[in-house]
Amino acid sequence: MSIIQHTSAIILAAGKGTRLNNGQPSEKPKVMHEICGKPMLEYTLKTLENINITDVIIVVGYKAEMIREYFGNRYKYADQAEQKGTGHAVMCAEGTVDKTNPHVLVIQGDDSSFYSPTTIIDLIGRHVSEKAKLSLLTLKHPKPAELGRIIRNDADEVVAIKEKEVLTEEEKKINEINTGTYCFESAWLWDNIKKLLPSATGKGELILPDLVKMAVDQKKKISAHRITDQYEWVGVNDPAQLAYATRVMEERLKKFENQD
């Protein structure tokens, strides 16, 4: 079997979509909001299917029954009854994931609709070939102000992910951002995720970027794969961004139609 087939995928899909609904919980889970007539989550699942990742766990929370009903029993589900951060979401999936797989891909269900199969394959491939404990996708973003930044040292190695609230004036000039997509060595992930503490930034949640600091402190290998096509990552956090995502997808679908 290939390294891809030895990889489990955990999709974080428990969000309420409050910013998509004027600050109030949406009428449906965030990942069920549609881009070109399909729930945004459907695009991500299709990408994973195209690269033959078969152990797929969807972490659900808010109005979970809508996701379960729509996608059925083709996938496994883990419940995050109370949303306590991305790290907590992955913890909720530990009992459901296939522990025989040595690699775990973690992907956000709300901004991953545009990834190409090649990008995910390259992330996992580099993760394995470089014997990394933790790998991540990054992107140089034209408008990074509201996003977490990738901090590198003089050797161009990733040493931290810093949220916007704690950036220095110099760090605010950095345009390389964290996409929220990671690949982990399974054993390292499950050994260390339980050590997460409430984050010093934001709402004090358990967050995945803090695992980067943990790996740095342990002097473990971190691999960063930078996406070159900025349209492969489209954040969807408010109605304007959802409309933009729809326009980008329309252009993409039109391009594929023309190729056919």
Residue 164 has a pLDDT of 87
For the chain, give the mean pLDDT: 93
Closest residue by Cα to residue 163 from 149, 151, 153, 175:
149
pLDDT of residue 132: 97
E-strand ranges in 113-233 read 134-140, 149-152, 158-162, 176-185, 222-227
Domain residue extents for the chain: 7-259
Return the CATH number of the domain spanning residue range 7-259: 3.90.550.10
> How many whole angstroms separate alpha carbon 141 and alpha carbon 216?
24
260: pLDDT confidence band, cut at 50, 70 and 90?
A: low
Token digits for 210? 């803090």
Average pLDDT in the 56-78 region? 97
Distance CA 245, CA 132 (A): 32
Query: Taking the alpha carbons of 138, 40, 4, 121 in that order, is the dihedral positive or negative?
Result: negative
Alpha helices (H) in the chain, listed in sequence order: 40-50, 64-71, 86-93, 117-129, 186-192, 209-217, 239-259
| Average pLDDT over every residue of 145-153 | 93
The answer to whether residue 122 scores a pLDDT higher than 90 is yes
pLDDT band at 257 (very low <50, low <70, confident <90, very high): low
| HSE value, Cβ hemisphere, 13 Å, CA-based, for 191 | 11
| DSSP bridge partners of 177 | 139, 149
Q: pLDDT of 19-64, one tens digit each?
A: 888 888 889 999 999 999 999 999 999 999 999 999 999 999 999 9
Query: In whole angstroms, how large is the CA radius of gyration of the chain?
Result: 17
Which of the listed ranges 113-122, 142-151, 251-260 does the model predict with the highest average pLDDT?
113-122
Task: Categorize the per-residue pLDDT at 203 as very low, low, confident or very high, splitting at 50, 70 and 90.
Answer: confident
Over residues 134-156, mean pLDDT: 94
27, two tokens: 């009428």
Give the H or E element holding residue 27: none
Quick: pLDDT tens for 84-93. Answer: 999 999 999 9
Nearest to 15 by CA among 79, 83, 104, 91: 83
In terms of pTM, does the model score above 0.75?
yes
pLDDT in tens, 153-189: 999 999 999 988 889 999 999 999 999 999 999 999 9
pLDDT at 245 over 80: yes
